[in-house]
Structure 1
Amino acid sequence: MRIGIIGYGNMGRAFALGLKDHYDIIVFDKDTSKKELALQDGIGFSNSIEFLLDSVDLIILSIKPQDLASLKELNFNGKSLVSMLAGTSVSRLKEHIKDAYITRIMPNLAVIYKKGVIGFYSEDAKKEVIKSMLEHLGKVYELEEKYFDAFTAIGGSGPAFVASIVEAMRLSGIYMGLNKDVSYDLAMATIEGTLELLKAYNEEELILKVSSPAGTTIEGIYNIEKTGLKGILMETFIRAYQKSKSL
């Protein structure tokens, strides 16, 4: 299967790099300076969006939502189209793209390392083929479209929020006298180990396993509860959800 990617920004490039070992990939970007980068990546670059549409079996759309109107006059020839445009529903896509079978996805940046999470909603008869393609990039969650804003907040924005927690751990280590490299490595190793522990225990069980009576951990847990940190974190995800709904 030959796949065409329209848009060679961060996510379009991540998809191209993640899929190129499995499929024939060609990309187009209106910014022709992206051609050199694509060729360096070993990805074919089309100088014409019309040529790309004519020569591929499936199209992945990775452009800014405000550029959607530029596609209105193009002929998609009844092909499968996968859109990753944030906050852009299938019904809105159909206002601009008349002759394609549309799948909507919401990936996160971890698809670069084939560890992504991808929200998936499809009206395409070939959706199982498309889903199989996406599984090369991470874990695919088939959802009703109404849940995409929630998925965006947790799966799409989540890496930035987790990175903020890692940064807080690193800065705390520096404050307590550790050098920045040790602090960062310790934070990362702790997160990685915790993810393994959470496969064996639920959150409450793990907290109780780590917390000794009158010990250091329960002192920190007390502060989490007293300051309402969990509520602050929930509010962070909820604000991202509300922003996604407003787009």
Structure 2
Amino acid sequence: MNIVCVGAGSMAESMIHGWINKRILKAEDIAVMNKSDRDRLELLSDEYGVKIVQKERQELRNADFILLAMKPKDVEAALTDIKDNLTGNTVIISVVAGVSIETIQKHVGNFPVARAMPNTSAKVGKSATGVAWSKYVTLDQQHDLRDLLSSIGSVTVVDEKQIDAVTAVAGSGPAYIYYFAEAMTEAAIANGLSPADAKRLVRQTFAGAADMLQQEDFAALRKKVTSPNGTTAAGLAALERNNFKGIVGECVKDAADRARALGREFE
């Protein structure tokens, strides 16, 4: 299986790292290209052993999958650049926020196209990925897509109209958690812990809670650790007073709205 990554930012690198680490792909099966940053391509080649797409573009013609991993504003130029080197059996996988399958097909024709939204936890094989595909993606290609994406984490197949919500929850979600971890650390330091101890305790708390979330219902877990009139209840009461759920709801809604807006800007 050969894949060309068009765009070489943090998402592409996370996926490359995950694929090689999980041995779903060998380094020589992966090629990278971007608009103009040759230094970035050489860095990825040196770090992971992947190939750089050459002037002749043979890597594109041999590709089973083309991964679109650039900013939405660069999609049109990228598709124009590669479309003459695509073959009919190549599946285009877009991880670009907001850009629809229909829009991609307007530029390249009726190719099999999938929209996926992984997150950068792909680097450690823990991505939460949502994926939708066009009617031109065959059953065999769907199977290969699942294998490719499940090697870097979990895969949830959704309707394309749900991808913007996936973007807001799974694609952007790690950043919300990192921000919460920052806030927890700052609060721990303000309450007397050293920065090193605060970070160590917060990291392990998040790691342990993440494992527990795989085993039981979220609300049930919260209730189990919340004794009446105890310390956890006091902390949760502060979150409720400050409309924590409302803030999270606005966060996800605004991220999903932005994904939709990016799509409209491109179209």
TM-score, length of structure 1 as denominator length: 0.93
1:35 is the counterpart of 2:41: yes
Q: For residue 145 of structure 2, give the secondary structure of its aligned residue in structure 1.
A: helix
Q: Aligned pair 1:95/2:106, yes or no? A: yes
Cα distance per residue 1:30-56 (max 9 Å; x no partner): 322223212212111123373321232
**What's the % identity of the aligned pairs?**
30
Greater length-normalized contact order (CA 8 Å, ≥ 6 residues apart): 2
Decide whether aligned partners of structure 1 residues 114 and 49 sit closer, same or farther in structure 2, where only a CA change above 3 A counts: farther
Q: Which residues of 2 match residues 22-171 of structure 1 at below 5 A? A: 22-23=24-25, 24-30=29-35, 31-41=37-47, 42-48=49-55, 50-70=57-77, 71-72=79-80, 74-75=83-84, 76-78=86-88, 79-98=90-109, 100-123=111-134, 124-125=137-138, 126-171=141-186
**Alpha-carbon offset, residue 99 of structure 1:** 5.3
The list of structure 1 runs, each at least 4 consecutive aligned residues, that deviate by more than 4 angstroms after superposition, is none
Q: 1:178 to 1:5 in 2, by over 3 A?
A: same
Q: Which residue matches 2:5?
A: 5
Residues paired across the two proteins, number? 247
The alignment's TM-score, normalised by the length of structure 2, stands at 0.86
Distance 1:237 1:22, change over 3 A: same
Q: Sort the Cα spacing of 1:36 and 1:63 in 2 relative to 1 into closer, same or farther, 3 A.
A: same
SS at match of 1:104: strand
Aligned to 1:215: 230
Q: Structure 1: how far apart are the matches of 2:197 and 2:247?
A: 28
Alpha-carbon distance change, 199 to 27 in structure 1, aligned in 2, over 3 angstroms: closer
C-alpha deviation, 1:200, in angstroms: 4.3
- Secondary structure class of the residue paired with 2:97: coil
Pair 1:72–1:192, CA change in 2 (3 A): same
Look up the SS of the partner of 1:100 in the other structure.
coil
Unaligned runs of 5+ in 2: 263-267
Query: Which runs of no fewer than 5 residues in structure 1 stay unpaired?
Result: none
The Cα RMSD (Å) is 1.8
Q: Following superposition of structure 1 onto structure 2, how do residues 223-234 of structure 1 map, counting pairs within 5 Å?
A: 223-234=238-249
Change in 2 beyond 3 A, CA 1:208/1:80: closer
